[in-house]
A and B are shown apart, each in its own frame.
Chain A
Amino acid sequence: MTAQTSAKRPPPAADIRPPAARRRARRPGFVTAALGLPVAFMAIVYAYPVGAMLLKSVTEPTAGFGNFTEAATDRTMWHVLWITVRMSAEVAVLTVLLGFPVAYFLARTSKRKARFLVLLVVIPFWTSILVRSFAWIVLLGDNGLVTKILEPLTGDGQGMLYSESAVIIAMTHILLPFPILIIKGTLDQIDASLPRAARSLGAGPVRAFAHVYLPLAVPAIVSSGMLVFVIALGFYVTPALVGGPKQSTIAVVIAEAVQVNFDWGMAATLATLLLILATALTMIVRRLTKVKGLVTL
């Protein structure tokens, strides 16, 4: 529509090159600017701070790898790493176990129903992690709903707040939408006629599921589990709020290094190690499964 007004004006007579060539000649400048300015922006306000932080791990307080040897020889650091890895692994396994049935159901049910039910998954996903952690403080506290329900079983009215199970439950709740949405994305693309073909060739429903359907879903299951694991490794809010001192994860120790000990070098070192670990795991998952990351837009 709007192009019509400009169409009345003839192209400049001097330029006798075909339109395509003119386009090519004029475009690069604009495209370069469209790419260059965002890149410059990200370099200054994103890459620089991260780079400066990485640098601090080997310059603060003195130059060298002192921080790294200090971290590696500190036994509590190894314990923190073990707790972080163990809790992340537990959360990853739980979210996948709970996520798969939901994803399977959503992929098989009618479009309309799926659309509504996906909202129930995505709305918690967009609710702040802080609020969801707070929700579990309410639920698991001494006056909480879960505590009251479990009272006949446990015998006392004590909440399970500030324990490992509390952290696991809250983190599972927070990260569960990831496997659901990722696995559903893959299941949606599985050709529905494949399990049917298996059935018609004489396989029972269980066998058709286990031998035909499930193997096609394995890459999504593995990659979503790994994604949850990587995200859980860096979790701060939930272990800090819902967990006790025994549930100190790497992130909690990093924050303490800055806020309590004012040890920038150690904080930077641990953050560097966490970044290396997370990046390495993410790249391995990418290589292995080629399932893209999750942005549901």
Chain B
Amino acid sequence: MTADLITPAPARPKPPPGRRRGKRSPATRAERALGWALRGLVALILAFLVIPILIVVLESFNSVDYLSFPLEGWSLTHYREFFADSAWVDATLLSARIALLAAAIATVVGTAAAWGLARSPARGKGLVFALMYSPLVIPIIVLAMSYYFTFADFRVIGHWQVIAVAYSVMGVPYVLVAVSSALQQFDSELENAARTLGASLPKTLLRITLPSLTSAISAGALFAFVIAFDEAVIILFVSGTGSVTLPRKLWDSVRYDLTPTLAVAGTILIAVCVGLFLLSELIKILRERRERR
């Protein structure tokens, strides 16, 4: 097992016939040592990735009023505080509302664009794709400035619906990429067959194309939701006083006082995003299982 960490051995590392084991053992031992060293290193790096997130979750159960680790004691005090404070609860609900609207818009726009790109014979498709994909690579502070100026010009700072529309832009690339790759697997002749048999195009799309894209669309929608739910830069400029989302409230509080209640807010952000991510993984696994059958 460890040997194939260094040299990708055939699937079952049986000693090849005609070779004596004794002759190979020195190399194998060195390889084995290297393999264990690599494992140790990888374990350390993965711990570096995961532990800070676990700490936030653990910290939310701290029994004292200040951040400390190891915990002074376990309690749910800060969860009670969080849910008793209407400012935190309102911020959480607002984030959910904005993310829901943003995900809905991003899903419709991204799915339509993916289908249009897949079926369009026109040139200039690359340009359209670049327009749809670029929100993924544009520095977020640049996007924040753009929205701040435009929101201010049109006097819509603090309007949650407008914020949701702005957020939907960031979800579009995810939906587009997910649905595009699913469309590549989808046999477009099925659409043609339905059309030949007399189904109208909208009917074909609704009954033939969309059903086979549902898992890709839902994956894209979930990511669009997550992006909008924990967006923390644009909101600093466009929230005004009316639209304090959960990340915005967390940001403000981190700057003024550090209490375990913040860890509760962080834990909720983690739980929502990781939960939705695991949900999309589950959808993927279920789909694979169905296809195998």
**With A and B bound together, what is the CA distance between A196 and B135 in angstroms?**
42
A105 close to B5 (CB less than 8 A): yes
Residues of B near A14 (CB, < 8 A) are: none
- A241 interface residue (CB < 8 Å to B): yes
Interface size in chain A (residues, C-beta < 8 A) = 104
Residues of B near A260 (CB, < 8 A) are: none
The stretch that binds B, out of A69-77, A119-127, A214-222, is A119-127
Q: Which of B7, B66, B143 contacts A196 (CB 8 A)?
A: B7
- A27 interface residue (CB < 8 Å to B): yes
**With A and B bound together, what is the CA distance between A56 and B152 in angstroms?**
13
A-side interface mostly: helix
Q: Which residue of B lies closest to A110 (CB)?
A: B1
Residues of B near A7 (CB, < 8 A) are: 197-198
- A202 interface residue (CB < 8 Å to B): no
- A205 interface residue (CB < 8 Å to B): yes
Encoded as 1 (CB less than 8 Å from any B CB) or 0, chain A from 274 to 291 comes to 110011001000000000
B8 close to A42 (CB less than 8 A): no
Known: A105-B42, A131-B230. A6 touches B109 (CB 8 A): no
A47 close to B141 (CB less than 8 A): no
- B80 interface residue (CB < 8 Å to A): no
Residues of A near B150 (CB, < 8 A) are: 48-49, 52-53
From residue 222 to 252 of chain B, which have CB atoms closer than 8 A to chain A?
223, 226, 230, 232-233, 236-237, 247, 250-251
Q: Within the complex, what minimum Cβ distance (angstroms) separates B132 from chain A?
A: 6
Interface size in chain B (residues, C-beta < 8 A) = 109
Residues of B near A278 (CB, < 8 A) are: 137-139, 142
Residues of B near A192 (CB, < 8 A) are: 8
Encoded as 1 (CB less than 8 Å from any B CB) or 0, chain A from 100 to 125 comes to 01101100110000000101111110
Q: Which of B120, B165, B277 contacts A35 (CB 8 A)?
A: B120
Q: Which of A9, A38, A122, A295 contacts B113 (CB 8 A)?
A: A38
A31 close to B46 (CB less than 8 A): no
**With A and B bound together, what is the CA distance between A144 and B211 in angstroms?**
50
- A160 interface residue (CB < 8 Å to B): no
Q: Which of B34, B136, B138, B236 contacts A275 (CB 8 A)?
A: B138
- B50 interface residue (CB < 8 Å to A): yes
Q: Within the complex, what minimum Cβ distance (angstroms) separates A181 from chain B?
A: 12
From residue 130 to 163 of chain B, which have CB atoms closer than 8 A to chain A?
131-133, 135-150, 153
**With A and B bound together, what is the CA distance between A56 and B113 in angstroms?**
30
Encoded as 1 (CB less than 8 Å from any B CB) or 0, chain A from 38 to 57 comes to 11011101111110110010
Known: A39-B131, A50-B146, A134-B56. A45 touches B169 (CB 8 A): yes
Q: Within the complex, what minimum Cβ distance (angstroms) separates B111 from chain A?
A: 9
A297 close to B232 (CB less than 8 A): no
Encoded as 1 (CB less than 8 Å from any B CB) or 0, chain A from 52 to 95 comes to 11001000000000000000000000000000000000000000
Residues of B near A104 (CB, < 8 A) are: 38
A123 close to B274 (CB less than 8 A): yes
Q: Which residue of B lies closest to A193 (CB)?
A: B8
Q: Within the complex, what minimum Cβ distance (angstroms) separates A117 from chain B?
A: 7
B201 close to A26 (CB less than 8 A): yes
Q: Which residue of B lies closest to A231 (CB)?
A: B139
Inter-chain contact total with CB atoms closer than 8 Å: 292
Q: Which of B145, B168, B262, B277 contacts A271 (CB 8 A)?
A: B145
Residues of A near B132 (CB, < 8 A) are: 38, 42
Q: Which of B39, B41, B195, B232 contacts A129 (CB 8 A)?
A: B232
Q: Which of A49, A128, A274 contacts B230 (CB 8 A)?
A: A128
Residues of A near B41 (CB, < 8 A) are: 101
Q: Within the complex, what minimum Cβ distance (angstroms) separates A212 from chain B?
A: 10
Q: Which residue of A lies closest to B147 (CB)?
A: A49
Residue with the greatest number of chain B CB neighbours at <10 A, chosen from A27, A230, A259? A27
From residue 156 to 184 of chain B, which have CB atoms closer than 8 A to chain A?
165-166, 168-169, 172-174, 177-178, 181
Q: Which residue of B lies closest to A38 (CB)?
A: B113
B281 close to A258 (CB less than 8 A): no
Residue with the greatest number of chain A CB neighbours at <10 A, chosen from B49, B55, B56, B168? B49
Residues of B near A205 (CB, < 8 A) are: 6-7, 27, 30-31, 34
B145 close to A6 (CB less than 8 A): no
- A3 interface residue (CB < 8 Å to B): yes
Q: Within the complex, what minimum Cβ distance (angstroms) separates B164 from chain A?
A: 11
Residues of A near B93 (CB, < 8 A) are: none
Q: Which of A2, A10, A134, A293 contacts B198 (CB 8 A)?
A: A10
Given contacts A102-B42, A199-B7, 4 further A-B contacts (CB under 8 A): A2-B208, A36-B116, A130-B230, A139-B55
**17 A-B contacts, Cβ less than 8 Å apart?**
A3-B207, A7-B198, A27-B119, A42-B109, A50-B138, A50-B143, A53-B149, A101-B41, A105-B38, A123-B274, A123-B277, A128-B232, A128-B247, A131-B56, A250-B141, A268-B145, A278-B142
In the complex, the 7 A-B pairs of residues with the closest C-beta atoms, listed nearest first: A234-B139, A35-B116, A128-B230, A34-B116, A192-B8, A135-B52, A38-B113
Residues of chain A touching chain B, judged by Cβ–Cβ distance below 8 Å, are 2-3, 6-7, 9-11, 19-20, 22-23, 26-27, 30-39, 41-43, 45-50, 52-53, 56, 98, 101-102, 104-105, 108-109, 117, 119-124, 126-132, 134-139, 141, 143-145, 148, 173, 176-177, 192-193, 195-196, 199, 204-205, 208-209, 230-231, 233-234, 236-237, 241, 250-251, 254-255, 258-259, 264, 267-268, 271, 274-275, 278-279, 282, 293, 295, 297
